[in-house]
Amino acid sequence: MKTIDLAESSIRELNQALHDQAQECLEREFEVLNPKGQHNIACGIDQNLSVDIRGHAGYFCAGMNKKAHVVIHGNAGQGVAENMMSGTVRVKGDASQAAGATAQGGLLVIEGNAGARCGISMKGVDIVVKGSVGHMSCFMGQSGSLVVCGDAGEALGDSLYEVHIYVKGEVKSLGADCVEKEMRPEHIEELTELLNRAGVDEDPASFKRYGSARQLYNFKVDNASAY
Amino acid sequence: MSNDINVNPGLRESATFDRTTMAEIRRAADTGIYDIRGFGAKRKLPHFDDLLFLGASMSRYPLEGYREKCNTQVTLGTRFAKKPIVIETPVTIAGMSFGALSANAKEALGRGASIVGTSTTTGDGGMTPEERGQSSKLVYQYLPSRYGMNPDDLRKADAIEVVLGQGAKPGGGGMLLGQKITDRVAQMRNLPKGIDQRSACRHPDWTGPDDLAIKIQELREITDWQVPIYIKVGATRTYYDVKLAVKAGADVIVVDGMQGGTAATQDVFIEHVGIPTMAAIPQAVQALQEMGMHRKVQLIVSGGIRNGADVAKCMALGADAVAIGTAALVALGCNDPKWSAEYEKIGSAAGFYDDYQEGKDPAGISTQDPNLMQRLDPVEGGRRLANYLRVLTLEAQTLARACGKNDLRNLEPEDLVALTVESAAMARVPLAGTSWIPGQGF
Amino acid sequence: MCGIVGLYLKNPELESRIGELFKPMLIAMTDRGPDSAGFAIYGDEVGEGWVKLTLRHPDADYDWEALATRLKTELQLELSWFQNASVAVFKVHAEEATLREWLSEEAADVLILSVGQSIEILKEVGLPEKIAETFNLEGMKGSHIIGHTRMATESAVTMEGSHPFSTGMDLCLVHNGSLSNHNRLRENLKREGIAFETQNDSEVAAGYLTWRLQEGDSLKEALEHALEDLDGFFTFTIGTRNGFAVMRDPIACKPAVLAETDDYVAMASEYQALTTLPGIENARVWEPEPATFYVWERS
């Protein structure tokens, strides 16, 4: 196991060490000390590694992650796991705005709360939040799943495409073209699997499903007020 | 005004409510939706034709051709990148998406650019293998939509262009209508097939130059600081935008004027937002000079570049390079009269066609229809583009030599004069025959 | 575009160290704001009937002593003053209006940075670290302090264009974001009698609050009106005599983090500005909701 202390090493040195594992993997486990809210920690990994970050991370932690399993033992700043392709990122504390933004795959688990725009523009990632999510979450979400065990803020799923949204708590308001949908057996199954993968103990039957009404899929005069 | 000799000369057309305007009002009344089209601003605007070079005579001496070299090579990205890009001519190919353009068109652009040793740019849809395969230098756009955006392609790129906006629609996002969202496009963009793509106009995970600075650091970290990072803006408050781009950490800044094209957006956006390219360049250069960054952070300008004179004038005003979009497509065959009958069938005409959003392009360029796409042979297209790029370069060199320059970048604003008050004020060069530059000193 | 930071002490024992605690917070925001920096510190209160002014003059060698003498003699009042680098701090036994009038007539090129019983605004062009050293931030004492590092967007990099902006007695504002209707607002506010020194959008926000407070709004009402009338993106931190307030616009794209312990409440654009604060590991850390005011004040 390799320990990198950001009180002594730079972000550049850390990321280079992580990137070097892509060609030839000589070290699979990394521990990062003293992150102290610095930005771009462990971004651009392209290897099946395990990275534990002991403290709070700044912006874009684990950005564009591929294959790695990153755990932030603290809070994460804006854009955690943005554009992730595969692998997992787990935030033990809270996540700031745009968590999982535009991510295409993998699993993002937030054990605390997520800020505004959680899952904005998501393109295939699975996001599971044990707490609540802020306003405009899943804005223009294209595909993937968003599971919220707490509440959702205003305008959930505004301009939604095909993301499956499951919320257990209260939804402050729904965004344009986002509607409540029926929970059928296949959805219970999908949600069960997501909760299991995230290690979250909740009863799928207590969730409601939300999805796109698909009314904005083609420009129509009658929808002019939605634009 | 009508010059149509078949119209009764006693009839008078209104300049305000001309036939085009009336047709648009009728169309709006028919459909209830704004007009969406491709191409850049079509109305007459102050442009480079209003500027003239002062060639050599008694006080200046010209360069001979051939042996007396006029250098055209430019290096982009010297500020921070370990691997700046060297291009053999200062004419690059602007970002245009696969989706907006056919795969054959993207391949042709890559081939042509590589033959002459310049760069192409991906667009709002991601990188195709054809494009990467055929382009010796490929700039990868990073846009608000993030369609097709992935770190593998990021790492394959020779440069990354963070797009805030483009000249045709500064403040607007990408647009692609259902008829062009084929299986392949849908898969790349992660959208359902056949829908009308809605656009994000801001990036999802950062807003403002202070947060952009952090995003650029992230992109550098992910690519191990190897490649240059460009920032592209549509020309609006160019003076401030360029200063902020420098502060945010750009290696290269791309400024796209309102004549810049698009594959699809609202006509009102194209014609009424943004400033002419010629008015943006002096603002950008002034901003760079005030920060001591001119030539250190390179400036690429685009929007209505058509010939070597335009290229040379942009260089004279202080740009390091230019980008062409519309002109490249025309070189490939867009609006070619050989398809006249086809254009007429779809209610248009050669030289007038701008309905790129329809996906029915007879030239096979701005379409996803496999039958139409076949009309553009990528190898032949590449050859044509390379020819055109060579002509642009030779023309620019001719003018530079005539002004006594051994390098295109030695052209200066003092080599230019203007024909009109507007162009003199916008380009900040004197009205021909005078020493007057209107608009200075405020 | 910028970085903003604020520190409000609940524990009076920390007051002697406020400058020392705040300095690294300000410097942490350098990348967000390399052009200029400033802060408003509250403390060293003057008594009832007295006001404290921070003043500046374009001439670095301005004779403050002479100004002080003239004030004392011509207005027959008590005062004391001291200099902190380019800023002079005057403590005067007089009303604000009297002093403003006299200064505008007798010393028109003296710039008033702040007026109040507690507030001192200090700001300059240059890197935050340099400004902290110039004003000896590390040695300062007080009850609360807000600061700002500036990346100029559409107005010039000048001292006048730097934040914090004064909005009235003991009131000031720092702003991260970009307003979009400030030009018309500025014209309207000028007609209401508010004066402006710059083309800066943040100065308009400050002027707007001043106007609302003059019209009789409470701070909360003024902020409610601001949400309606200001267009654009903003995170504001406002300093008041007894505390501070934080507010974000309804879209809330510009960042803001709050941290609270038994000893203090801290605010910053980025968490990394808070990492040197004592007990931060156990602080409650959260982000303010959009269009919501958060106010901490001593009663």
The pLDDT assigned to B3 comes to: 59
Q: How far apart are CA B164 and CA B274, in angstroms?
A: 13
Q: Nearest chain B Cα to C177, which residue?
A: B208
Q: Is B32 on the interface with A (CB under 8 A)?
A: yes
For residues C171 and C209, is the Cβ–Cβ distance under 8 A? yes
Residue in C3, C11, C262 with CA at minimum distance from that of residue C143:
C11
Domain count, chain C: 2
Can you give the length of chain A in residues? 227
For residue B2, pLDDT beyond 60: no
- The Cα-based distances of A136 to A7, A121, C250, C286 in angstroms read 36, 11, 11, 18
> Are C24 and C150 found together in one domain?
yes
Q: Does the beta carbon of B210 lie under 8 angstroms from any beta carbon of chain A?
A: no
Q: Chain A: nearest CA to C256, how far in angstroms? A: 10
- What pLDDT score does C1 carry? 72
- What is the Cα–Cα distance from C139 to C258, expressed in whole angstroms? 25
CA distance C230 to C238: 15
Q: Which amino acid is at C222?
A: A
- Per-residue pLDDT of A139-195, as tens digits, reads 999 999 999 999 999 999 999 999 999 999 999 999 999 999 999 999 999 999 999
Nearest residue, CB atoms, B207 vs list C3, C33, C233: C233
Cα(A47)–Cα(A78) distance, integer angstroms:
23
The pLDDT confidence band at residue B69, using thresholds 50, 70 and 90, is: confident
ipTM for the complex shown: 0.94
- The parent domain of residue C69 ranges over 46-117
For B144-162, the pLDDT digits (tens) are 999 999 999 999 999 999 9
Q: Among A221-225, B16-20, C280-284, where is mean pLDDT lowest? A: A221-225
**What CATH number is given to the structural domain containing C64?**
3.30.70
Sorting pLDDT into bands at 50, 70 and 90, what band is B442?
Answer: very low
Rounded Cα gap, residues B273 and B433, in angstroms = 33
Counting every residue, how long is chain C? 299
Taking 90 as the threshold, does the pLDDT of residue B68 lie above it? Answer: no
Mean pLDDT of A29-39: 97
Residue type, A61: C
Residues C62 and C37 grouped into a single domain: no
Is the Cβ–Cβ distance between B282 and B328 less than 8 Å?
no
Token pair in block for residue C108: 């028109």
Indicate whether C171 and C80 sit together in one domain: no
What DSSP letter does each residue of C127-180 carry, written as one string?
-HHHHHHHTTGGG---SEEEEEEE--SSS---STTSSPEEEETTEEEEEEEEES
Same structural domain, C16 and C104: no
More confident site: B317 or B439:
B317
**B244 has a chain C CB within 8 A of its CB:** yes
HEC string for chain B? CCCCCCCCCCCCCCCCCCHHHHHHHHHHHHHCCCCEECCCCCCCCCCHHHEEECCCCCCCCCCCCCCCCCECCEEECCCCCCCCEEECCCEEECECCECCECHHHHHHHHHHHHHHCCCEECECCECCHHHHHHCCCEEEEECCCCCCCCHHHHHHCCEEEEECCCCCCCCCCCCECHHHCCHHHHHHHCCCCCCCECCCCCCCCCCCHHHHHHHHHHHHHHCCCCCCEEEEEECCCHHHHHHHHHHHCCCEEEEECCCCCCCCEEHHHHHHCCCCHHHHHHHHHHHHHHCCCECCEEEEEECCCCCHHHHHHHHHHCCCEEEECHHHHHHHCCCCHHHHHHHHHCCCCCCCCCCHHHCCCCCCCCCCCHHHHCCCCHHHHHHHHHHHHHHHHHHHHHHHHHCCCCEHHHCCHHHEEECCHHHHHHHCCCECCCCCCCCCCC
Q: Give the minimum alpha-carbon distance from A172 to chain B in angstroms, rounded to a whole number.
A: 22
Interface test mutation site (partner B, options A14, A65, A121, max chain B beta carbons within 10 A): A121
Alpha-carbon gap, residue C261 to A189, rounded angstroms: 43
Q: Which of A53, A75, A120, A151 to mutate to test the interface with C (most CBs of C within 10 A)?
A: A75
Q: How far apart are the first and last CA of chain A?
A: 52
Chain A residues in contact with B173 (beta carbon < 8 A): none
Mean pLDDT across B59-82: 90
Cβ atoms of B312 and B399 closer than 8 Å: yes
Cα–Cα dist B421/B425, whole Å:
6
Best mutation site among B202, B216, B218 for testing chain A: the one with the most A CBs within 10 Å? B218
A203: closest CA of chain B, how far (Å): 30
Q: Per residue in A11-26, pLDDT tens? A: 999 999 999 999 999 9
Q: What is the mean pLDDT of chain B?
A: 94
**In whole angstroms, what is the distance from residue B218 CA to residue B215 CA?**
5
Please work out, in degrees rounded to the nearest 5, the angle formed at the alpha carbon of residue C65 by the alpha carbons of C59 and C67. Answer: 75
- Of C92, C117, C142, the position where a domain reaches its end is C117
Contacts (Cβ under 8 Å, ≥6 apart) of A71: A50, A51, A52, A53, A89, A90, A92
One domain for residues C200 and C109:
no
List the domain boundaries for chain A: 2-226
Residues of A in contact with C275 (CB under 8 A): 36-37, 56
B-chain residues within 8 Å CB-CB of A38? none
Report the C-alpha gap between B325 and B122 in whole angstroms.
12
- Report pTM: 0.92
CATH number of B40-427: 3.20.20.70
Please give the pLDDT value at position B22. Answer: 97
Residues C172 and C136 in one domain: yes
Which of C87, C117, C147 is a domain's end point? C117
Please return the burial class of B320, using the count of CB atoms within 10 Å of its CB with bins 0-12, 13-18 and 19+.
buried
- Give the mean pLDDT of A68-85: 97
Give residue-wise pLDDT tens across range A91-138.
999 999 999 999 999 999 999 999 999 999 999 999 999 999 999 999
| pLDDT for residue B441 is more than 90 | no
Walking along chain C (299 residues) 10 residues at a time, the average pLDDT comes out as 93 96 96 92 95 93 94 93 95 93 93 94 93 95 96 80 88 92 93 88 92 90 93 92 92 93 96 94 91 88
Domain A2-226 belongs to what architecture? 3 Solenoid (2.160)
Do the chains contact at C153 and B210, CB–CB below 8 Å?
A: no
Which residues of chain B have a CB within 8 Å of the CB of C1? 208-211, 244
The reply to whether C107 touches chain B by the CB within 8 Å rule is no
Q: What is the DSSP letter of A58?
A: -
- The pLDDT of residue A100: 98
Q: What residues of chain C lie within 8 A of the CB of B208, using their CB?
A: 1, 177-178, 233, 253-254
Judge if C293 and C153 occupy the same domain: yes
Which helix (H) or strand (E) segment holds residue C277: the answer is none
Closest listed residue to residue C256, CA positions, set C231, C293, C204, C222: C293
- Chain B residues with CB under 8 Å of A39 CB are 214, 217-218
Q: Decide which of C81, C102, C117 is a domain's last residue.
A: C117
CA triple B231-B328-B126, angle to 5 deg: 50
Distance from CA of C292 to the nearest CA of B (A): 20
User: What is the DSSP-derived secondary structure letter of residue A164?
Assistant: E
Residues C136 and C237 in one domain: yes
Q: Give backbone dihedrals phi and psi of B2, rounded to 5 degrees, phi first.
A: -80, 130
Q: Are residues C110 and C57 in the same domain?
A: yes
Query: Which chains, if any, share at least 3 CB pairs under 8 A with chain C?
Result: A, B
Question: How much is the pLDDT for A221?
Answer: 60
Inter-chain CB proximity A219 and B154 less than 8 Å: no
- Position of tokens 């900040």? B428
What percent of chain B lies above the pLDDT cut of 70? 98
Q: Measured between beta carbons, which residues in chain A are less than 8 angstroms from residue C252?
A: 97, 116, 135
Active site amino acids of C? 2
**Residue of A54, A80, A135, A158 to mutate, interface with C, max C Cβ within 10 Å:** A135
* Structure-token pair, residue C178: 């970009």
